[in-house]
Amino acid sequence: MSFQHREIALLCALLSSILSLPLSFARDPKAETPAKRQATSGLDASASAETSFYLDDTHVGVVTPTIAGTISSPTAGWSLSGRYLVDVVTAASPDIVATASPPWTEVRHAGNLEGGYEKGDVGVGAHASLSREPDYLSISAGLRGTLEFDEKNYGLLFGYSYRHDTAGRAGTPFDVFGWTLERHDLNAGLTIVVNSSTIAAIQLDGMFERGNQAKPYRYVPLFEVGAAEEVPVGASVALVSALRLHARPLEALPLTRDRFALTGRLAHRRSRGTLRVEERLYTDSWGMAASTTDARYSIDIGRFVTIWPRLRFHAQTGTVFWQRATEVAVAADGSITIPAIRTGDRELGPLWTLTGGGGVSVKLGARFTASLQVDGVFTRYLDALYLTRRNALFSALALQATFD
């Protein structure tokens, strides 16, 4: 799995966690006529198909077809949903060139199931997921609970999930070469219906990781003390190869990492649109701190078309052990002591990312909805080898059908 692909997966998981906050505008019981209650007395079902594309100027491409479905009973209070996707990743990035490895293509299969039950103001749910590729296996499961009170103007969310990952090398069994990583996630959230058009929410997440997070294919270049000064930001593969020492050990990271994030969201409905603003503050035990701001404004154009511009900005500091060029002392006999912690993962260094774009959703009759999203992603690496920037394009085309 390429590091770009993992960062995309981490980003998707993060956005999914933020959007799972139980936000719903207050309902007026008087507006629920007998005819409407009868119309929702059966089963509701929906199905969707989506294909997304990612391409950047470091020669990494990802194509992801996805199918999903949901079935629920509004009167009984239960719901069940599932999703299956396939990632087809191709890569020929500078990191691959630096290790003299040929470009490669890899396929990942992933699926998840989620179920929930609500009775009155109390809700419970569970989910499980599985992701498999030639050199990586991830299994996770979790539980959640919700509690609404004061006529559903306030809502509490509590959740726990566990994930077990195994990273290896393609063509090698995990019992021969396999690094494991365990992760425990705890989250709690509060939703407040401010008025009939505004909702606010806040969520606190704690993520506790134990195990090996290093990349099995990442080798870290080492430089003699003093030589690193000759290695500028964005140094080319040729310059790094000319200045580095012969030794090139595998990446090695701390075996524990505790992450904490505080996310706030505000949604405001206007006569013909909805503004949603999110802010996420992050810190962890590796010394990284980050801020992510996301704003989206959905505009209704008639009854059948919705468009939305979107802007997102993310900035982070590097970890306490981050070094653009790792220096080591060379003894008189030529021997060196390899640092216990070493990395070449530029995603652990200081950077900022600006994402801008938008989308359009069109209702095709009573049951079908089609949507298209296109985003440009511009990343600047402030203290890394090989790259100073990465420009990417992400797009997703989806079709959803609903039945009742």
According to the model, what pLDDT value does residue 171 have? 86
Average confidence (pLDDT) over 231-252: 93
Question: With bands split at pLDDT 50, 70 and 90, how would you rate the model's confidence at 156?
Answer: very high
According to the model, what pLDDT value does residue 100 have? 60
> What residue ranges define each of the domains in the chain, with the CATH number in brackets?
3-25+46-403 (2.40.160.40)
Cβ neighbours for 338, distance < 8 A, ≥ 6 positions apart: 222, 247, 249, 328
Average confidence (pLDDT) over 143-152: 95
Long-range contacts of residues 90-93, Cβ cutoff 8 Å, at least 24 apart: 90/59, 90/60, 90/61, 90/62, 91/2, 91/4, 91/5, 91/59, 91/60, 91/61, 92/59, 92/60, 93/2, 93/4, 93/58, 93/59, 93/60
- For residues 80 and 114, the answer to whether their CB atoms sit within 8 Å is yes
398 pLDDT above the threshold of 60:
yes
Average confidence (pLDDT) over 313-329: 96
Question: With bands split at pLDDT 50, 70 and 90, how would you rate the model's confidence at 184?
Answer: very high
Q: In whole angstroms, how far apart are CA 329 and each of 298, 334, 340, 342?
A: 57, 9, 14, 15
According to the model, what pLDDT value does residue 138 have? 98
According to the model, what pLDDT value does residue 97 have? 65
34 pLDDT above the threshold of 60:
no
**pTM for the whole thing?**
0.86
According to the model, what pLDDT value does residue 271 have? 85
Mean pLDDT (the chain, rounded): 89
Average confidence (pLDDT) over 51-70: 96
- Percentage of the chain surpassing pLDDT 70? 88
**DSSP secondary structure of 155-210:** EEEEEEEEEEEEE--TTS-TTTS-EEEEEEEEEEEEEEEEETTEEEEEEEEEEEEE
Average confidence (pLDDT) over 106-128: 97
120 pLDDT above the threshold of 50:
yes
Comparing 39 with 194, which gets the higher pLDDT?
194
Rounded CA separation 43/73 (Å): 5
According to the model, what pLDDT value does residue 41 have? 52
Name residue 158's beta-bridge partners: 145, 188
Token pair in block for residue 165: 């990952």
According to the model, what pLDDT value does residue 73 have? 94
